[in-house]
Amino acid sequence: MTRIRGYKYRAYPNKKQREFFEKTFGCCRFIYNHYLEAKQQVWNECHDTLSYPEMCKDLSRVLKKENAWLKEADSIALQQSLRHLDRAYDNFFRGRGGYPKFKSKRSAQSYRTMNVNCNIRIDGDRIVLPKAGIVKIVNTRDFEGRILSATVTMTASGRYYISLQVEEEYEVMPNRGGEIGIDAGLKVLYTDSDSCSVINPKALAKHEKRIRRLQRSLSRKQKGSGNREKARRKLAIEHEKVANIRSDFQHKISYRLANENQVVCIEDLDVKGMMSDHRLAKAISDASWSGFYRKLEYKMADHGGVLIRVPKTYPSSQRCSCCGKINHKVRDLSVRRWTCPDCRAEHDRDINAAKNILEKGLEMLAS
């Protein structure tokens, strides 16, 4: 079987390569913002739009003559910037995203280039990129396949990463054939139908005190000063540390679930809607259910398993997993344990919900 998989590496470019990357980031950002403004102007004047071929023609014929400094960047990266703009509009009109926004130089920067005539290749702890030359990387993962593209990213803390999109052959890994239902939570990351719970690491909560102190320090610095840039980078490093702790934990847990189970049933939560509750928004963001489910979904596919999403309207917490009786009194989240009024079975709220999610998921899978 063939799949497209991403491989991400930490990069250590030299001073000249960093300057080239920063120039390319700026050129791609300029192209994106320039044509976003042009598309808005065309729409306001004649209710029409600029297609990708029209923007490419304008880029090659006019813009490079007026702005010769664009030639210093990777030309393929500039074209990819136009493709990203075109895709952003397409996603907006199809309801898959918001209206495209202008890019800022104050956040993480990236550009994408394509592999043409093997101009992107990796050899040990070195990778060759168009115009950048040989860049040093930490090669933690080997692969056998054809490189399609490379994305160079500079995080807010100033760290560089190179992500490769690779087309490769693969074999489905085995799993142990289990079936499990999962009920997501905040105090615990999830409770499963086997009455096991996984503690939420709460990475943000544990680092919140230091983040708050760094934010206060940043707010006292004069805008445009070197000390403010140092304070901004310290804060960015702390936020990246939190994100890395959370991501590492989710990768380990999702791999374990995919390795042990053939079927995993989850509740299709409306995370965006739940984030509108200001009392729970920070805790929900710290739990990062969406990121966990994303990792679990592709790992289940790698192991030949199935991830079933049970509709959010299904009353998993209110239904008795023994007799099916719906108890509306359990809507109150403070009720953690309850007794079924019909069969008198005693339930833990989360375990009962996980069992109901598993039952509903298997029913959906059978139908």
> DSSP per residue over 342-365, as a string?
TT--EEEHHHHHHHHHHHHHHHHH
d(CA 60, CA 171): 43
Catalytic residue list contains 238: no
Q: For residue 135, give the nearest of 25, 21, 22 by alpha carbon.
A: 21
Q: Which of 238, 267, 302, 359 is catalytic?
A: 267
Catalytic residue list contains 286: no
Distances, alpha carbon 93 to alpha carbons 37, 81, 84, 88, 271, in Å: 17, 19, 14, 9, 22
Catalytic residue list contains 183: yes
| CA atoms within 13 Å, Cβ hemisphere of 263 | 18
Mapped onto helix, strand or coil, the DSSP state of residue 145 is: coil
Mapped onto helix, strand or coil, the DSSP state of residue 319 is: strand
Q: Which of 74, 183, 192, 297 is catalytic?
A: 183
Alpha helices in the chain (DSSP H): 15-46, 52-58, 64-66, 75-93, 203-220, 226-260, 271-274, 281-287, 289-302, 349-366
Q: Is the dihedral of CA 316, 321, 324, 330 positive or negative?
A: negative
Distances, alpha carbon 42 to alpha carbons 35, 38, 47, 276, 290, in Å: 10, 6, 7, 35, 37
Q: For residue 164, give the nearest of 177, 180, 145 by alpha carbon.
A: 145
d(CA 36, CA 251): 37
Which tokens go with 196?
């096991």
**Which are the catalytic amino acids?**
183, 267, 350
